[in-house]
Amino acid sequence: MRKSILLMSPAMFMLFAFGIIPLFIMLYYSFLSDGAEASFTLDNYINFFKKAFYLQLTWKTIRMSLIVTFICLLISYPVAYIMAKVIQKGKNLLLLLIIIPFWTSQLVRAYSWMTFLQDGGILDYLLRKLHLIGDGGLGILFTQTAVIISLVHIFFPYMVLTIYMSLEKVDLSLLEASRSLGASSWETFRRIILPLSKPGIITGAILIFVPSLGVFVEPRILGGTEGSVIGTVIEDQFFEIYGWNFGSAIAFILLAMVFLSLWLLSRLTKED
């Protein structure tokens, strides 16, 4: 028992020193008023919910995160199924290609998409050559669409890997038994494959939806004026406006949204 505690103590120290203690410091500041004589107040939280701008931005952030999660699911499920149940060789190569984005900086990926999506960029040039667009250009850069494309690219591997691990555990004999009993391909998918892969879907949704709530790099670079989300507001409060108290309050409201999302998604898992 003592050896286990000694082995865990460095990790616990790091967690408390650089995780939990800073959170409590931010929580303390979130209840302080601005000015030379700071006092405890709920005004920072009240002001957030009183202003329609922040409520609209919160809904915009949630909607964007849901869209990113849904698109990742639509793309990832067929890829994961093919890797798990269709192909026999080359799985390791496909997995390598999928996780390559993890090896590059988030900032580098954002600027790469900026180069790719800008008017006169690579995509614009190719579509012009194919006569799919006119002289007006793409008009994608500095919109929420560009932010969503970038986030799908960044978080897509999480969904693929979690669904793949769930599908890999599905016994092929169950699929063969379903077919021998006369079930169609759709019935087999709906009654066997999809329920058994649900844990992977829920895990992937958590790994995508929760981080998407707090992103600020991609919206700042690719979204322009339309890319403002809760994450960019928190960044502005800390580094531009120096409203640390209000920024701390927004950060904890975002943290509450994250915990609520985790609770809802965990409920979906327990319903099985």
Q: Within 13 Å, how many C-alpha atoms sit on residue 261's CB side?
A: 24
CA distance 127 to 138: 9
| pLDDT band (50, 70, 90) for residue 272 | low
CA distance 114 to 185: 41
Looking at this protein, which amino acid is placed at residue 19?
Answer: G
Q: Look at the chain and count its residues.
A: 272
CA distance 98 to 265: 25
Which of the listed ranges 26-35, 132-141, 207-216 does the model predict with the highest average pLDDT?
207-216
Cα angle 136-139-145, degrees, rounded to a multiple of 5: 155
Lowest-confidence region among 62-66, 222-226, 247-251: 222-226
The tens digit of pLDDT for each residue in 50-91 reads 999 999 999 999 999 999 999 999 999 999 998 888 887 877
Q: CB neighbours (10 Å) of residue 128? A: 15
Is the backbone of residue 137 left (phi > 0), alpha (psi -120 to 50) or beta? left
Contact 220, 174 (CB under 8 A): no
Domain residues of the chain, as ranges? 52-270
CA distance 116 to 201: 30
Contact 211, 229 (CB under 8 A): no
CATH T-level topology, domain 52-270: MetI-like fold (1.10.3720)
Q: CB neighbours (10 Å) of residue 28? A: 12
Percent of the chain having pLDDT more than 70?
Answer: 94
Q: Which of 52, 17, 21, 54 is nearest to 243 (CA)?
A: 54
Whole-structure pTM value: 0.87
The tens digit of pLDDT for each residue in 129-181 reads 887 777 767 788 888 999 999 999 999 999 999 999 999 888 878 878 888 88
Interhelix angle 144-168/52-81, nearest 10 degrees? 40
pLDDT of residue 169: 86
- DSSP symbol at 40: B
End-to-end CA distance of the chain: 36
CA distance 3 to 5: 5
CA distance 20 to 103: 28
The tens digit of pLDDT for each residue in 108-130 reads 888 888 888 888 878 888 888 88
pLDDT of residue 269: 67
